[in-house]
Amino acid sequence: MAKHHQETIEEVIKELGSSSNEGLSGAKAKERIEQYGLNELTEKNRRSAWKILLSQLKSVMVIILIVASVITAFVGELRDTIVILAIVALNTILGFTQEYRAEKAMAALKKMSVPRVKVRRDGKIVEINSTEIVPGDIVILEAGNIVPADMRLIEATNLKIQESALTGESEAVEKTTKPIEEENPSLGDRKNMAYSGTVVTYGRGVGIVTATGMETELGKIAAMLQDTAETQTPLQKNIDQLGKILALIALGIVGVIFVMGLLRGEDLELMFMTAVSFAVAAVPEGLPTVVTIALALGAQRMLKKNALVRKLMAVETLGSVTVICSDKTGTITENRMKVTVVEMAGRTLDFGKENEPDPEALPEDDNKSFEIMLTAAALCNDAEIKPPVHKKQQADVIGDPTEGALVYAAYRVGIEKSDLEQAMPRILEIPFDSERKRMTTIHEIKSNPKGKIPADVPEHLRENAVDQYVAFTKGAVDSLVEVCDRVLEGDEIHELDDDWKRRIIETNNNLAANGMRVLGVAFRPVNSAEVEDKKVEEKNLIFTGIFGMMDPAREGVKESIMTAREAGIRPIMITGDHPLTAGYIAESLTIVDDKSNVKMGREIENLTEEELDRVTAETSVYARVAPEHKLKIVDSLQRQGNVVAMTGDGVNDAPALKQADIGIAMGITGTDVTKEVADMVLIDDNFTTIVSAIREGRTIFDNIHKFIRYILASNFGEIWIMLLGPFFGISLPLAPLQILWLNLVTDGVPALALAVEPPEKDIMKRPPNPTKEHVLANGRWNVILIGLLLSAFSLGVGLVYWMNDINGPWRTMLFSTLVFSQLFFALSVRSRTKSIFNAPFKENPYLMYAVLASFGLQLAVIYVPFMQGLFTTQALGVWDLLLSLALGSAILWIYEIKKLVTRKRQ
Ligand code: ATP
C-alpha cells in the first residue's frame, strides 16, 4: 500500500473515509474516538495519587519516625509506638490531601491550556479541543497554529511550517499538496505532510488527519521528551537548601544531646526517643510541601482572575516583576474596532454616526473610488459577516476585529462580502505579517455565462476587464505608500508624486494623532501571466484611500497602570501600530507624560548595547515594532536588572516571550505557539489581569515568607528549650512525644492557614520583591531570636514550677505555654506592620479555625485522662492555665510593640 505522502489527495480522503467539503460526521468522529483514543501523548510522569502518598512516606522525617516506632515496639514501649504511628498517619493524611489538591489544581490548569482547533465536521467549520481530533478529520491550519496531529495536506496557500521539533531544522519548510513519488523520504522532505507538534509560521492550509496521539511521529519520540523533570522554582530550591543545612546542624546537636545525656547517665531508650524527636523538631520537613501547596493554590486563585498560569515558577516570579511590556491592540485597548472615517483624496466621509452613512451624498465621481475602496477592504480580508437573523439585530462579524470593522463598514453601505466573492473569487494571496504590515489578495473578475461582468464588480474595474485579475492590498499607510506609484482621485488616476505622498501621510497622521488606528487600501489590475506564474508582487499599486478606526482603551486599564506605577512597576507599551496612535493612547492612559516620546522599531534596530540600554531606560512607548525588536527590548531591560513581563500574540512573538521572565500569551487572540511558550495566559486578553496576577503573586510570596518565619521560629523555640534546659538542671524539659505533637500538630495546622492570608493593604504600594533574595534574607537572625523569646517564657515558667514542686505539673506548664506562644505568634505573624487588632479574622477565617482547633487539641492533651497518659501531662488548675495563656500571649504584645515602632518610623 502506498504511503500517504505518495497518494493523491482523493486517494487519501477515500482511504480515511472522509470528505474534503463535509469532513467527518459527528457520529463517525465519536466512533473513531472510541477506536483510536484521544489525541494526546500519554504522560508517563503524571503523579498518581499513589505516587503522592508514597512521596509523603518517603520523607526523611517519616522514615525516622517509622524506624523509631519499630524500635519502641521492640523495647516494649507500645504506647509510644502507637502515638508515633498515629502522628505519622495524621501528618501523612494532611500532607497527602494538600498535595493531592495542589496536583489536581495544576492538572486542571494544564487541561485548560489544550489548544482549540478548527475542523470541518458535518459540512460546517467547528472549533474543538485538539484532544478530540481523530484520523479522517479535516483540519484548518493558520499561521500561529501548532499542528495538532499528523496530516496529509489537501490545501496549501503560502503554507510554511517550522518543523524543528521533529527535524531540528529551524528554517520553515514551504508546503505543497502534490504527491511525492519517493517511498521513504526523510520527514523534512515530505512537503505534503504536516506533523503534530510543528508550527505553522505563515499562510494557511487544510489537511486530513492521518495519525493521532501516540501514533504520530511526535508520539513515537515522546518517550524521549518526557524525561524532562519539572524544574524547581528558585524559592523551592532555596528552601530545599535551607532544609539541608538545618538537617545537618540538627544532626550535630542531636549527637551532642545524645552523648551528653548518656554521660549524665540518662536512660538509653529515653535518650534515643529524645534524639529522634529533636531531629524531627529541627528539620523543617513540612516546608517544601507547604510552599508547593501555596504556589499551586495561588495559581488556582489567579485563574479565577483570568490569569492561567502554565508554569508554577511564574506564580513566584510575578511578585518580582519590575517592568510590564504590553501590546496595545486588544490588551490595553478593547479591540472592538469601528470604522469612523473614510478618507479619499481629500474628501471625508463620516462613518461615526449612528445613522447609515450615505455614499449617495458623495459627488458622482467620488462614488467610484469609494466603491473600490470598500470592495478592496471587504475582499482583501479574512473576516466574515454573519447577517442578523432578525432585521432589528446588528450583524455579527467573525474574525480579526480590524478586518471585521472593514467588512462591516462595507456591509453598512450595502456592499456584501459574500456577493463580492461570487463575482470576484480569491485565487491567490500574500498573507499579512507584522513585518510588512500589509496584506494582498488577488481576485479573478468572473464574467457570468452571458459574458457580462456581474453587477457586484465596481464599475471602475468592469471597464475592459473580462477575465481579468485584480490585486487588492490593505495595510499600514506608511508601508502601503512605499509600494504605490499612482493614486485614484474620483475616477481619475494620477501619478503618486511627492505632493500626493505628503497629503496622504498628513491625512494619516491627523487621524492617528487622534488615537485612531489607520489602514490604507490600494489595488491594481493584474495580468494572467503573473497569475499563472503565481508571481504577483506588491508593487505599482494605485492608492485608493484611508480608513480611520476607533479602538477605545479598555475599562480599568488606566487605574491598573497607576496601580502598577505605585507598586514600583514600569508599564511599557510596545505596538505594531502607528507612533501617533500609540502616543495618543499612551498619554491618555498616563503611560507617558508626553505623547511625542515614542520610539520606532527601526530606530532601535542598529544601536549598540549601550545605546540601546540608554534608550530603553527612558522610553515607555514603542511603535511600528516588529517581533525581533521586542526581543531586543526585553534583552536590554533584563541587562539593566529588570524582571520583565512581556505580552505577545503573533507567531513571531514566541522568542521574546521565551526570553522574558514572565512570557504572557493572549487567550483570545493569541496563537498556539505563544501559548505554548508562555508562562501565563491572559484568558481575557486584558492588561488589568496582569496587574491582578502580580498582586496575587506578591501575596503568595508574602504568605510563604510568613509561614516560613512561623515554622522556623517555632522550631527554634523547641531547639532552645531542649538545649538550655539541661543548663538549668532540667535534663529533659519536653517529653519526646510532646515535641512530636508540637511539631506535627499544633504547628502544622496554623502554618497551612497562613498560606491563604489575604493580601495586605499596602501590597501594591511596596517595591517589587527582590528576586535573588534568600527566603530569610532579612530575618535570618530574627527567627532564631523569636525562637529564643518563645522558649524564654515557657522555659522560665517551667523552671519556676519545677523548683517549687518537682513532682508538680511543671512540664505541662512548660509544654502548654510553648504551644500557646506558638499560636499567639501565628496570629502576630499575619502582618509585618499592621496590628492584629486591625486585621479582622473574617479576612482569613482559616487561621482562626486552625488556632482554635490547635488550642482545643491542646486542652484535650491536658485534660483528657487517656491523652494525659500518652503525653505525660497533668491537669492544670484554672489559674495555672490562665497564667500559661497570659505568658503565651507575651510574644504577641512584644510583636505589637515592634509593629508600632515600625509604623511610627514609616
Ligand atoms: P499590537 O502589537 O499592540 O497588538 P497591532 O495589532 O497594531 O498592535 P500588528 O498586528 O503588528 O500590531 O499590526 C501592525 C499594523 O499593520 C497595524 O497598525 C495596521 O496598520 C496593519 N494591519 C493590522 N492588521 C492588518 C490586516 N489584517 N491587514 C492589513 N494590515 C493590517
CATH number at residue 633: 3.40.50.1000
Residue at 102: amino acid letter: A
Nearest ligand 1 atom to alpha carbon 573: 3
364: in domain: yes
Side-chain-side CA neighbours of 435 within 13 Å: the count stands at 8
Give the model confidence (pLDDT) of 625-676 as tens digits: 988 899 999 999 999 999 999 999 887 888 899 899 999 999 888 888 888 8
Residue at 410: amino acid letter: A
| DSSP H or E run through 472 | strand 469-475
Q: Which residue has the higher pLDDT, 451 or 71?
A: 71
pLDDT band at 161, cuts 50/70/90? very high
Mean pLDDT value across residues 133-154: 93
For residue 674 and ligand 1, the question of a CB distance below 6 A is answered with: no
Is the same domain home to 463 and 371?
Answer: yes
Q: In this structure, what are the phi and psi dihedrals at residue 288, rounded to the nearest 5 degrees?
A: -55, -40
For residue 204 and ligand 1, the question of a CB distance below 6 A is answered with: no
Strands 644-648 and 662-666 turn out to be parallel
For residue 854 and ligand 1, the question of a CB distance below 6 A is answered with: no
Is the same domain home to 92 and 114?
Answer: no
For residue 519 and ligand 1, the question of a CB distance below 6 A is answered with: yes
Is the same domain home to 383 and 276?
Answer: no
Pocket test for ligand 1, best of 328, 432, 481, 509 (most atoms within 8 A of CB): 432
Is the same domain home to 648 and 714?
Answer: no
What HEC string does 368-422 produce?
A: HHHHHHHHHHHHCCCCEEECCCCCCCCCEEECCHHHHHHHHHHHHCCCCHHHHHH
- Residues of the chain with pLDDT > 90, as a percent, come to 40
Residues 80, 137, 327, 382: which is the catalytic one? 327
For residue 329 and ligand 1, the question of a CB distance below 6 A is answered with: yes
Q: Write the residue with the smallest CA distance to atom 29 of ligand 1.
A: 475
CATH number at residue 194: 2.70.150.10
Collect contacts of 669-674 with beta carbons under 8 A, ≥24 apart. Answer: 669/330, 669/335, 669/400, 670/144, 671/143, 671/144, 671/145, 672/115, 672/144, 672/145, 672/146, 672/199, 673/144, 673/145, 673/146, 673/199, 674/144, 674/648, 674/649, 674/650
315: in domain: no
Residue at 448: amino acid letter: N
CA–centroid distance, residue 517 to ligand 1 (Å): 9
Is the same domain home to 172 and 222?
Answer: yes
CA–centroid distance, residue 460 to ligand 1 (Å): 29
Number of structural domains found in the chain: 5
311: in domain: no
Strand spans (E) along 166-238: 173-174, 193-194, 199-211
Question: Residue 47: pLDDT above 70?
Answer: no
Give the model confidence (pLDDT) of 797-849 as tens digits: 999 999 988 888 899 999 999 999 999 999 988 887 788 887 777 788 889 99
For residue 474 and ligand 1, the question of a CB distance below 6 A is answered with: yes
Q: Write the residue with the smallest CA distance to atom 14 of ligand 1.
A: 576
| Rounded distance between C-alpha atoms, residue 754 and residue 763, angstroms | 16
For residue 402 and ligand 1, the question of a CB distance below 6 A is answered with: yes
Cell 485612531: give the residue: 516
Comparing CA positions, the residue from 483, 508, 632 lying closest to residue 577 is: 508
Question: Residue 229: pLDDT above 70?
Answer: no
Is the same domain home to 667 and 709?
Answer: no
CA–centroid distance, residue 504 to ligand 1 (Å): 19
CA–centroid distance, residue 329 to ligand 1 (Å): 8
Is the same domain home to 414 and 457?
Answer: yes
Look at residues 102, 126, 147 and tell me which one is the last residue of a structural domain. Answer: 102
Q: Is 131 exposed, middle or buried (0-12, 13-18, 19+ CB in 10 A)?
A: middle
Q: Write the residue with the smallest CA distance to atom 24 of ligand 1.
A: 402
Q: Which residue has the higher pLDDT, 676 or 883?
A: 883
CA–centroid distance, residue 438 to ligand 1 (Å): 8
586: in domain: yes
Is the same domain home to 709 and 823?
Answer: yes
Nearest ligand 1 atom to alpha carbon 327: 3
Reduce the DSSP state of residue 137 to 3 states and report it: coil
CA–centroid distance, residue 547 to ligand 1 (Å): 13
85: in domain: yes
Look at residues 196, 227, 258 and tell me which one is the last residue of a structural domain. Answer: 227
Pocket test for ligand 1, best of 434, 435, 628, 674 (most atoms within 8 A of CB): 434
Q: Which residue has the higher pLDDT, 722 or 577?
A: 577
Min mean pLDDT across 332-346, 393-407, 459-473 is at 459-473
Give the model confidence (pLDDT) of 270-299 as tens digits: 777 778 777 777 777 667 777 878 888 888
| Residue 115, C-alpha cell as written in the block | 489548544
Nearest ligand 1 atom to alpha carbon 582: 3
| Rounded distance between C-alpha atoms, residue 165 and residue 216, angstroms | 13
Reduce the DSSP state of residue 553 to 3 states and report it: strand
Question: Residue 494: pLDDT above 70?
Answer: yes
| Rounded distance between C-alpha atoms, residue 237 and residue 721, angstroms | 30
Q: What is the pLDDT of residue 619?
A: 94
pTM (whole model) above 0.75: yes
Provide the mean pLDDT of the chain: 86
The yes-or-no answer on residue 419 being catalytic is no
| Rounded distance between C-alpha atoms, residue 252 and residue 318, angstroms | 38
Range of the domain at 636: 321-334+554-685
Is the same domain home to 186 and 289?
Answer: no
For residue 328 and ligand 1, the question of a CB distance below 6 A is answered with: yes
843: in domain: yes
For residue 106 and ligand 1, the question of a CB distance below 6 A is answered with: no
759: in domain: yes
Look at residues 548, 578, 611 and tell me which one is the last residue of a structural domain. Answer: 548
Is the same domain home to 261 and 403?
Answer: no
Q: What is the pLDDT of residue 823?
A: 92
Cell 464599475: give the residue: 459
| Rounded distance between C-alpha atoms, residue 19 and residue 14, angstroms | 8
Give the model confidence (pLDDT) of 349-381 as tens digits: 777 666 666 666 666 666 778 888 999 999 999
For residue 437 and ligand 1, the question of a CB distance below 6 A is answered with: yes
Q: Write the residue with the smallest CA distance to atom 5 of ligand 1.
A: 576
Nearest ligand 1 atom to alpha carbon 474: 29
Nearest ligand 1 atom to alpha carbon 380: 28
CATH number at residue 542: 3.40.1110.10
Is the same domain home to 37 and 78?
Answer: no
pLDDT band at 227, cuts 50/70/90? very low
Comparing CA positions, the residue from 205, 174, 206 lying closest to residue 191 is: 174
CATH number at residue 847: 1.20.1110.10
316: in domain: no
Is the same domain home to 564 and 544?
Answer: no
